[in-house]
Amino acid sequence: MYLFVYGSLLSHNSHNYLLKGCKFIGKAILEGFGLYKVSWYPAIVPKENSKVLGEVYQIDPSTLKKIDEFEDEGELYKRKEIEVVLEKGDILKAWTYVYLFDVDEDNYVPFENQPWRG
Protein backbone atom coordinates (compact mmCIF):
# COMPACT_ATOMS: atom_id res chain seq x y z
CA MET A 1 0.00 0.00 0.00
CA TYR A 2 1.03 3.61 -0.48
CA LEU A 3 1.02 6.71 1.71
CA PHE A 4 0.97 10.33 0.49
CA VAL A 5 2.61 12.70 2.99
CA TYR A 6 2.64 16.50 2.85
CA GLY A 7 3.92 17.78 6.21
CA SER A 8 6.25 16.72 8.99
CA LEU A 9 6.58 13.22 7.46
CA LEU A 10 8.26 14.60 4.30
CA SER A 11 11.84 13.48 3.72
CA HIS A 12 13.30 16.86 4.74
CA ASN A 13 11.13 17.28 7.87
CA SER A 14 11.24 16.28 11.52
CA HIS A 15 9.04 13.16 11.66
CA ASN A 16 10.26 11.37 8.52
CA TYR A 17 12.01 8.88 10.82
CA LEU A 18 8.58 7.25 11.25
CA LEU A 19 8.91 6.08 7.63
CA LYS A 20 12.41 4.62 8.09
CA GLY A 21 12.71 1.43 6.05
CA CYS A 22 9.77 2.35 3.80
CA LYS A 23 10.41 2.65 0.07
CA PHE A 24 10.32 6.20 -1.27
CA ILE A 25 8.26 6.17 -4.48
CA GLY A 26 8.62 9.83 -5.43
CA LYS A 27 7.20 13.31 -5.34
CA ALA A 28 3.52 13.62 -6.14
CA ILE A 29 0.66 16.09 -6.47
CA LEU A 30 -2.75 15.74 -4.86
CA GLU A 31 -5.40 17.75 -6.71
CA GLY A 32 -8.61 19.09 -5.20
CA PHE A 33 -7.14 19.74 -1.75
CA GLY A 34 -5.61 22.79 -0.10
CA LEU A 35 -2.70 22.92 2.34
CA TYR A 36 -3.10 25.02 5.49
CA LYS A 37 -1.07 25.89 8.53
CA VAL A 38 -3.02 24.94 11.66
CA SER A 39 -1.07 25.69 14.83
CA TRP A 40 2.55 24.64 14.11
CA TYR A 41 1.60 21.77 11.78
CA PRO A 42 -0.02 21.41 8.35
CA ALA A 43 -3.40 20.09 7.33
CA ILE A 44 -5.22 19.43 4.10
CA VAL A 45 -8.91 19.82 3.37
CA PRO A 46 -10.89 19.54 0.14
CA LYS A 47 -10.53 22.75 -1.93
CA GLU A 48 -11.52 23.24 -5.55
CA ASN A 49 -8.84 24.38 -7.99
CA SER A 50 -6.08 23.72 -5.47
CA LYS A 51 -3.31 21.15 -5.12
CA VAL A 52 -0.80 19.85 -2.60
CA LEU A 53 2.82 18.87 -3.22
CA GLY A 54 4.02 15.85 -1.28
CA GLU A 55 5.77 12.50 -1.38
CA VAL A 56 4.62 8.90 -1.71
CA TYR A 57 6.01 5.97 0.27
CA GLN A 58 5.28 2.27 0.03
CA ILE A 59 4.31 1.10 3.51
CA ASP A 60 3.21 -2.04 5.33
CA PRO A 61 0.21 -2.48 7.68
CA SER A 62 2.31 -2.02 10.84
CA THR A 63 3.64 1.31 9.54
CA LEU A 64 0.11 2.41 8.66
CA LYS A 65 -0.99 1.65 12.22
CA LYS A 66 1.96 3.65 13.59
CA ILE A 67 1.12 6.62 11.33
CA ASP A 68 -2.57 6.38 12.30
CA GLU A 69 -1.51 6.84 15.93
CA PHE A 70 0.87 9.68 15.07
CA GLU A 71 -1.85 11.52 13.10
CA ASP A 72 -4.55 10.95 15.76
CA GLU A 73 -6.64 9.23 13.10
CA GLY A 74 -10.33 9.69 13.82
CA GLU A 75 -9.69 12.53 16.29
CA LEU A 76 -7.67 15.15 14.40
CA TYR A 77 -7.39 13.64 10.91
CA LYS A 78 -9.32 11.07 8.89
CA ARG A 79 -7.32 8.61 6.82
CA LYS A 80 -8.66 8.64 3.27
CA GLU A 81 -7.74 6.85 0.07
CA ILE A 82 -7.03 9.34 -2.71
CA GLU A 83 -5.37 9.44 -6.13
CA VAL A 84 -2.11 11.30 -6.64
CA VAL A 85 -0.12 12.10 -9.75
CA LEU A 86 3.54 11.11 -9.61
CA GLU A 87 6.26 13.25 -11.25
CA LYS A 88 6.32 11.02 -14.34
CA GLY A 89 2.55 11.34 -14.75
CA ASP A 90 1.50 7.97 -13.32
CA ILE A 91 -1.63 7.96 -11.17
CA LEU A 92 -1.45 6.04 -7.91
CA LYS A 93 -3.97 5.29 -5.16
CA ALA A 94 -2.59 6.14 -1.74
CA TRP A 95 -3.69 6.83 1.80
CA THR A 96 -3.42 10.33 3.23
CA TYR A 97 -4.75 12.24 6.24
CA VAL A 98 -7.46 14.87 5.85
CA TYR A 99 -8.04 17.38 8.62
CA LEU A 100 -11.36 17.03 10.47
CA PHE A 101 -11.80 20.66 11.54
CA ASP A 102 -12.35 24.04 9.91
CA VAL A 103 -9.36 25.94 8.59
CA ASP A 104 -8.69 29.67 8.30
CA GLU A 105 -8.27 30.85 4.69
CA ASP A 106 -5.65 33.31 5.96
CA ASN A 107 -3.44 30.27 6.67
CA TYR A 108 -3.68 28.78 3.18
CA VAL A 109 -0.30 27.72 1.73
CA PRO A 110 -0.27 28.32 -2.05
CA PHE A 111 1.20 25.60 -4.25
CA GLU A 112 4.16 27.79 -5.19
CA ASN A 113 5.13 27.94 -1.48
CA GLN A 114 5.12 24.15 -1.09
CA PRO A 115 6.37 21.67 0.02
CA TRP A 116 5.78 22.20 3.71
CA ARG A 117 8.85 23.15 5.73
CA GLY A 118 8.77 22.38 9.41
Over the stretch 85-102, which tens digit does the pLDDT of each residue have?
999 999 999 999 999 999
Q: Are 33 and 6 in contact (CB under 8 A)?
A: no
The greatest distance separating any two alpha carbons of the chain, rounded to the nearest whole angstrom, comes to 37
Q: Are 34 and 52 in contact (CB under 8 A)?
A: yes
Total-model pTM: 0.96
Burial of 87 (0-12, 13-18, 19+ CB in 10 A): exposed
Q: Are 71 and 97 in contact (CB under 8 A)?
A: yes
Q: What is the pLDDT of residue 99?
A: 98
Q: What is the pLDDT of residue 117?
A: 86
Q: State yes or no: pLDDT of 53 exceeds 80.
A: yes
- The answer to whether 71 is a known catalytic residue is yes
| pLDDT mean across residues, the chain | 96
Q: State yes or no: pLDDT of 57 exceeds 90.
A: yes
Amino acid at the residue 32: G
Compute the average pLDDT of residues 53-76: 97
31-46: pLDDT as tens digits: 999 999 998 899 999 9
Pick the catalytic residue from 71, 75, 81, 112.
71
Q: What is the pLDDT of residue 118?
A: 72
